[in-house]
Amino acid sequence: VERKLTARGRERRQQILDQSARLFAERGYHPTSVADIVDSLGVGKGVFYWYFESKDDLFLEILASSSHDLRRLQQAAIGDEPDPLRRIEIGIRASLRWFRENRHLFNLSQFAATEERFAAVLRQNDAVAIADITRHLKEAMADGSVPEQDPEMLAHALVGATRHLARTYLYHGDESVDLVADVAVHFVLGGLAGGRPATPR
Amino acid sequence: VERKLTARGRERRQQILDQSARLFAERGYHPTSVADIVDSLGVGKGVFYWYFESKDDLFLEILASSSHDLRRLQQAAIGDEPDPLRRIEIGIRASLRWFRENRHLFNLSQFAATEERFAAVLRQNDAVAIADITRHLKEAMADGSVPEQDPEMLAHALVGATRHLARTYLYHGDESVDLVADVAVHFVLGGLAGGRPATPR
Amino acid sequence: VERKLTARGRERRQQILDQSARLFAERGYHPTSVADIVDSLGVGKGVFYWYFESKDDLFLEILASSSHDLRRLQQAAIGDEPDPLRRIEIGIRASLRWFRENRHLFNLSQFAATEERFAAVLRQNDAVAIADITRHLKEAMADGSVPEQDPEMLAHALVGATRHLARTYLYHGDESVDLVADVAVHFVLGGLAGGRPATPR
Amino acid sequence: VERKLTARGRERRQQILDQSARLFAERGYHPTSVADIVDSLGVGKGVFYWYFESKDDLFLEILASSSHDLRRLQQAAIGDEPDPLRRIEIGIRASLRWFRENRHLFNLSQFAATEERFAAVLRQNDAVAIADITRHLKEAMADGSVPEQDPEMLAHALVGATRHLARTYLYHGDESVDLVADVAVHFVLGGLAGGRPATPR
DNA sequence: AATGAATGAGGATTCATTCAT
DNA sequence: AATGAATGAATCCTCATTCAT
């Protein structure tokens, strides 16, 4: 249902989007009923379905838009930085700032991964992020600043370390973004350089 | 309900545990009804409630036991290895083998994180894992094989990178455990050593 | 709400009437929402309630006006034909032509019969039709061209046979009106004359 | 959901079937809610869905089973009667007895015709009835007791007249079955013999 | 230990109707 | 005359849990 919305309509829609994201994040997707959402906004149930096809639909929109939002921020931060390793560092720092601002969204993607109809969107989003990073890594390998390795795997390791630090210290904990970012960058750049296995296999 | 179970009873109970884990993993916790579980086992509903208090209860048990299981494996693998870095490496390799065997459990802990009544157990489990690793790291810092840094943060970075690689290449993908382990270990050991930030802050 | 309508208003009203009848006929009364109707006309919901009290009200109006329409056509066709049997034949033929033109209305009266608030109007309409036919039949019995029998029952038999043929061959099927009319007339006139029961009761 | 039902279960199922048919017939399909049905039986809502997939499903089952029921009765009544016209007469009389007993079902098939998902079953049922009658008519034409005409069209005319008489006098009215049957048979047998059109086309 | 049956609160969604503009 | 927005009761259906046997 594509609707032409008035200014007031767009506002209401955004209100629902924000409030739902907050509630889903706090209590979980399933435990949050449409009734909870509309009640918390003090509006009738019909309002929800005036703006969204279904609860699932709304959730998918939250997922998609938050990933776009993050990516936009990263790209703005990176600008036209020429050094690929610095691009990665800037990307990590930007992500962490975004995670901090949008910490409540952590649970949403956590959850989305567990039900196939949502997982698809998530994989899509992730693929984009990984592709971005992979590109930087290939450049870094080309100019010798990172030893040759499977760039995609590295990208995943990088993402995993960063996100987990963010979840732990920015979502559950309350650490400063800069401190976490320093550790993350240090760890990741070290990881890209690689260490000698303690045990030769 | 603590029940004294016959041998047959214990078997049945395990059957339910296994089957539930599989279904929760495939479809998600909420979309899997108790009816789905018992139907898929060809038994009546009474059976379920004979062995478990509730659906939530069952899920909590799955979470707890799988984390114990993993820890037991890690400790067995580590044995009395004296070198802390090697202990970490061995732990990572053992974890990846376990993740491979139990890849369906990924979704379960993903999901558990999103609803508070389950998240508590999860945090508990995680704390144990982090404590183990932190201990190794402190030793490694003491003997100079890893530069001094916040060991807990490193532990989280390590866990994040490892799990994400596992999820990507052992759960969604179908990579060989050893290959993934090599990349993970290489990345992590590098990360522990640390890299020089591309941008001085 | 009796409103004085401008020419444009009357047109709009008729538009709604026509479109609703079409949709009710295609999908059924209940499955067709007021929203469906106004959307299919590309107008807002207010329009509907400007011209009609309620959905029920609109439906009743469709029923009433279609029955008037049919009767008007029959009477025009019959004119001042003096022979009662010919009047009946002409009436049948006229009805079948009308049914052909308005086949979508079949479902409407079918449906109306199933909910009491609409059934009343329907019975009213039918009573008029039956009265017309009964009058012809009494005349025919008086002049001996049809054997004495309960004229009202005959009228119903006649109506039942005719309508069912129409529904089958003009609504679901796509037979020519004239062919169906020939069969109907032949059957009905035979029926009025009557047959000898195969089994004496 | 094919379920193995105990004796008690089968009884309950039948109870629901009967009660629903009654309520659908009285008030119409849509105005009768599942809540109405279970409340009128004094049971919980779950019971309904233990025995039936959905409200639609239940309705389809009522339709199908009532048509089977009628056909069974007709065939039992006809037995091995050799005369095709007498078979038709017996069929009509049996139908009318059945309609009398099950008058409440009239509205159900009326309604079913108006929504496509139900109409399909109805057409199926009707096709069987028409095929039966058509067979008798062909025989009757072969042995010269009915003039050659399109037998299927005659079958429809016959069915239309009979049903309409039944609806009028056995459902809305309260006439004796035998009297209505006499009129119906007389009209139908006359109709099969055919009359001369009052107006040569 | 186990089954089929039952409960009923709760959930998503629809929709006739009304309202403010 | 007309629109987009809003209402909220009503609807179908699900499902964890309990019960009788």
Q: Rounded to a whole number, what is the largest CA-CA distance in chain A?
A: 66
In terms of Cβ atoms closer than 10 Å to its own Cβ (0-12, 13-18, 19+), residue C54 is: exposed
- Within the 143-182 window of chain A, which residues sit less than 8 Å (CB to CB) from chain B? 149-150, 153-154, 156-165, 167-169, 172, 178, 180, 182
Q: Which residues of A touch B172 (CB under 8 A)?
A: 123
In terms of Cβ atoms closer than 10 Å to its own Cβ (0-12, 13-18, 19+), residue B200 is: exposed
Whether D3 has a pLDDT exceeding 90, the answer reads no
pLDDT at B2: 61
CB A118 within 8 A of CB A112: yes
pLDDT at C22: 96
Q: Nearest nt to C33, CA vs C1'?
A: E15
pLDDT at B84: 96
In terms of Cβ atoms closer than 10 Å to its own Cβ (0-12, 13-18, 19+), residue C72 is: exposed
pLDDT at A201: 52
Distance from CA(C9) to C1'(F3), angstroms, rounded: 17
* DSSP-based helix, strand, coil % in chain A, nearest 5: 75, 0, 25
Whether A67 has a pLDDT exceeding 60, the answer reads yes
Out of A167, A169, A190, the one facing B195 most closely (by C-beta) is A190
| Closest C-alpha to D100, from D22, D162, D165, D171 | D171
Q: Which residues of A touch B85 (CB under 8 A)?
A: 198
Q: Which residues of A touch B184 (CB under 8 A)?
A: 157
Q: Report long-range pairs for C19-27 (Cβ below 8 Å, ≥24 apart).
A: C20/C58, C20/C59, C20/C62, C21/C62, C21/C66, C21/C104, C21/C105, C21/C108, C22/C104, C24/C59, C24/C62, C24/C107, C24/C108, C24/C111, C25/C104, C25/C105, C25/C106, C25/C107, C25/C108, C26/C104, C27/D115, C27/D116
- Is C197–D180 a contact, with Cβ atoms under 8 angstroms apart? no
pLDDT, average across residues A182-201: 87
Residue D116 forms contact with C (CB below 8 Å): yes
Question: Cα separation of C64 and C24, whole Å?
Answer: 15
Distance from CA(B19) to C1'(E13), angstroms, rounded: 32
Q: Which residues of A touch B168 (CB under 8 A)?
A: 156
Residue D123 forms contact with C (CB below 8 Å): yes
| Strand, helix or coil for residue D48 | helix
Out of C85, C86, C187, the one facing D157 most closely (by C-beta) is C187
Helix (H) or strand (E) holding C128: helix C116-142
- Within the 55-74 window of chain C, which residues sit less than 8 Å (CB to CB) from chain D? none
Question: Cα separation of C175 and C178, whole Å?
Answer: 9
pLDDT averaged per 10 residues, chain C (length 201)? 78 95 96 96 94 96 95 96 96 97 93 95 94 97 95 98 97 95 97 81 52
pLDDT at D19: 97
Q: From the centroid of its chain, how far is CA C10?
A: 24
- Any atom of strand F under 7 A from CB of B46? yes
Q: Which residues of A touch B78 (CB under 8 A)?
A: none
* DSSP-based helix, strand, coil % in chain D, nearest 5: 75, 0, 25
In terms of Cβ atoms closer than 10 Å to its own Cβ (0-12, 13-18, 19+), residue D110 is: buried
Question: Cα separation of D92 and B106, whole Å?
Answer: 68
- Within the 6-65 window of chain C, which residues sit less than 8 Å (CB to CB) from chain D? 27-31
| Site of tokens 């240090």 | A186
pLDDT averaged per 10 residues, chain B (length 201)? 78 95 96 96 94 96 95 96 96 97 93 95 94 97 95 98 97 95 97 81 52
The protein footprint on chain F, as nucleotides within 7 A of a CB, is 1-20
CB A169 within 8 A of CB A175: yes
**Structure letter (DSSP) for residue C115:** S
Which of residues 30-89 of D have CB within 7 Å of strand F?
30-35, 45-46, 49, 54-56
Residue C199 forms contact with D (CB below 8 Å): yes
Protein residue with the closest CA to the C1' atom of nucleotide F11: D33
Which of residues 18-57 of B have CB within 7 Å of strand E?
38, 42-47, 50
| Closest C-alpha to D91, from D124, D122, D131 | D131
Distance from CA(D45) to C1'(E10), angstroms, rounded: 12
- 3-state secondary structure labels for all residues of A64-100: HHHHHHHHHHHHHHHCCCCCHHHHHHHHHHHHHHHHH
Question: Cα separation of C177 and C165, whole Å?
Answer: 10
Protein residue with the closest CA to the C1' atom of nucleotide E10: A33
From A83, which residue of chain B is nearest by alpha-carbon distance? B198
For B38-92, write each residue's pLDDT tens digit: 999 999 999 999 999 999 999 999 999 999 999 999 999 999 999 999 999 999 9
- Is D198–C88 a contact, with Cβ atoms under 8 angstroms apart? yes
Distance from CA(B16) to C1'(E3), angstroms, rounded: 17
Which of residues 49-68 of A have CB within 7 Å of strand E?
49, 54-56
Whether D46 has a pLDDT exceeding 60, the answer reads yes
pLDDT at A1: 62
- Is A29–B188 a contact, with Cβ atoms under 8 angstroms apart? no
Residue B3 main-chain phi, psi, to 5 deg: -115, 145
Local confidence band at D12 (pLDDT 50, 70, 90 cut-offs): very high
- Any atom of strand F under 7 A from CB of B58? no
Distance from CA(D40) to C1'(F11), angstroms, rounded: 17
CB B73 within 8 A of CB B98: yes
The encoded tokens of residue C49 equal 């309630």
Q: Nearest nt to D45, CA vs C1'?
A: E8
| Closest C-alpha to D139, from D127, D126, D155 | D155
Local confidence band at A196 (pLDDT 50, 70, 90 cut-offs): confident
Q: Which residues of A touch B164 (CB under 8 A)?
A: 156-157, 159-161, 163-164
Q: Nearest nt to B4, CA vs C1'?
A: E1
pLDDT at D153: 98
Distance from CA(B107) to C1'(E7), angstroms, rounded: 32
Half-sphere exposure at residue A6, Cβ-oriented, CA atoms within 13 angstroms: 1
The encoded tokens of residue B200 equal 């001085």
Crossing angle of helices C151-165 and D177-193, in 10° steps, is: 60
Q: Nearest nt to D13, CA vs C1'?
A: E5
CB D191 within 8 A of CB D157: yes
pLDDT at D68: 95
Q: Which residues of C touch D192 (CB under 8 A)?
A: 187, 190, 195
Question: Cα separation of C24 and C33, whole Å?
Answer: 9
Which of residues 48-107 of C have CB within 7 Å of strand F?
50
Q: Kindly report the CA angle at B55 between B52 and B59, in degrees rounded to 5?
A: 90
Helix (H) or strand (E) holding A172: none
Q: Nearest nt to A34, CA vs C1'?
A: E12
